Structure 1
Amino acid sequence: MARQLRAEQTRATIITAAADLFDRHGYESTSLSDIVAHAKVTKGALYFHFAAKEDLAQAILELNARAAQKLVADVECRGYSSLEALMRTTFGIARLAVQDPVPRAALRLATADVSVRAPLRHPFTEWLEFATRKFHGAVREADVHSELDVGVVAHSLVSFYVGIRVAGRSLEPVARLPRRVAEMWHLMIRGVVPVHRRPRYVTLATQLEREIRTA
């Protein structure tokens, strides 16, 4: 049991080290030797768990997918409106990115030429489907304008968030992400939410940002 626990801890250490390097330097610019040095493990320990760098990338994408699925499940069970659930999910993803290099690395891998192995789906596909579903719900609940092209709005939201992370990686610390997500939502709300419903959601965006910054 102790040996198994040590093996699990070593695997987690390797994944965290790889995620940190992938996030900071990119997948192609990070070697297995870099990961070994950063994780402070032997090459034998790394190869015991991962046969190739691609396996490490897949492990990071899988961990990120599980974290995102748990986040969505936690939000979905609370009875929020569709738009609030979508907002809380995006801020939740931002919180995970601030706290953990794995989600940050997963997004960088998703924007690089790294294949996502089945049955895992590309994270952007899942985000787009979730956003589309929630915007359809928001139309039914009259929280967004009924004449909107939901597919276009959902695609714009996902692209907006990804763009924030890609640009922010070079321009500012990740701790700035909650502020950028709040700014994204302030703009989105003014574009898609009827005037009489905007105050609720503008206030919510400010509240959710504050919760992350003070956590």
Structure 2
Amino acid sequence: MQERAKATRRSLLEAAARLFAEQGYAATSVNDISARSGRTSGAVYFHYAGKEGIAVAVVQDRFATWSQLAARYADEAVPPVERLVGLSYDIAYALAEDPVTRAGARLWAERATINAPLPDPFALWTAATTRLLAQARLVGHLNAQVRPARTARTLVPAFFGFCVLTEALEGTAAVTDRLTDWWQLTLPSLRPQPETRPPAGASANSPSSSLPPPGWRSSS
């Protein structure tokens, strides 16, 4: 019984997400969701208490929690800044290709039309970015002038706005290449600055974060 209920909830959520991503919150009805999912409208009200409830669930599922990215975030074998870069590609790919993530982003943009409070996804993103930057600072991979919390509060909205605007102007296929360009501009300001007077015969190299090659796609 529990497995059946879980499957019903999932099918409703995925059907609603596709509709929200395609046509927006206002243009999607409970009947649309039930028809797309093959379930009854009563099932929507039973499992999610209506369209508002399922909208909140869609935002929480991928856009506001990113539980599927926890393993990459916690992988201490990878330097912190490289983890941050890798996560950005995973998120950009999801925003471009994953229906539930796309729906979460669209619902967030349309939140004023939804009669229910949506979770703030950017608080989690900012906290995760702050922690990674703080870890990078501890191991000497961050410019001493960079303040993790302040920098995270700038990087997160800049990244999200960049992804949304790039897709709007150039389409989803351009996002990966443009993200590589974005990091090539951004990373030098995060890396430690070379010594102004390096020892004779020595080069002042700083740690670098590898960027995925053009056309890279997340395997997650």
Fold match (TM-score > 0.5): yes
Which amino acid is the alignment partner of residue 165 of structure 1? C
1:49 paired residue number? 47
Secondary structure of the residue aligned to 2:70 is: helix
**What is the CA-CA distance between 1:106 and the residue it aligns to?**
1.8
1:49-79 CA deviation, whole Å, 9 max, x = no partner? 2221121122113321686134133431342
State which drifts further: 70-79 or 181-190.
70-79
2:217 paired residue number? 212
Aligned length, in residue pairs:
206
Summarize the Cα distance change of 1:214–1:83 in structure 2 as closer, same or farther, 3 Å threshold.
Answer: closer
Q: Distance in 1 between matches of 2:158 and 2:97?
A: 21
Alignment of 1:8-157 (within 5 A): 8-64=6-62, 68-113=66-111, 115-116=116-117, 122-157=120-155
**What is the CA-CA distance between 1:89 and the residue it aligns to?**
1.7
Q: Distance in 1 between matches of 2:190 and 2:75?
A: 25
**What is the CA-CA distance between 1:35 and the residue it aligns to?**
2.2
Summarize the Cα distance change of 1:214–1:9 in structure 2 as closer, same or farther, 3 Å threshold.
Answer: closer
Q: Is the Cα–Cα contact under 8 Å of residues 64 and 120 in structure 2 kept in the other structure? A: no
Q: Distance in 1 between matches of 2:26 and 2:167?
A: 16
State which drifts further: 66-75 or 132-141.
66-75
In our comparison, the structure showing a higher alpha carbon Rg is 2
Q: Distance in 2 between matches of 1:150 and 1:142?
A: 13
Q: TM-score scaled to structure 2, two decimals? A: 0.77
Unaligned residue ranges in structure 2 (runs of 5+): 195-204
**What is the CA-CA distance between 1:141 and the residue it aligns to?**
2.5
Summarize the Cα distance change of 1:14–1:180 in structure 2 as closer, same or farther, 3 Å threshold.
Answer: farther
Unaligned residue ranges in structure 1 (runs of 5+): none
Q: Distance in 2 between matches of 1:99 and 1:181?
A: 15
1:182 paired residue number? 180
C-alpha RMSD over aligned residues: 2.9
1:14-35 CA deviation, whole Å, 9 max, x = no partner? 2112112222333233222332
Identity %: 29
1:106-143 CA deviation, whole Å, 9 max, x = no partner? 223333325556xxx52100111111122222223332
**What is the CA-CA distance between 1:6 and the residue it aligns to?**
4.3
Which amino acid is the alignment partner of residue 85 of structure 1? R
Q: Distance in 2 between matches of 1:18 and 1:188?
A: 36
1:153-209 CA deviation, whole Å, 9 max, x = no partner? 2122111221023324533443433333322212211332246337x32xx2134x5
Q: Distance in 2 between matches of 1:24 and 1:173?
A: 15
Summarize the Cα distance change of 1:87–1:106 in structure 2 as closer, same or farther, 3 Å threshold.
Answer: same
> Greater helix percent: which structure?
1
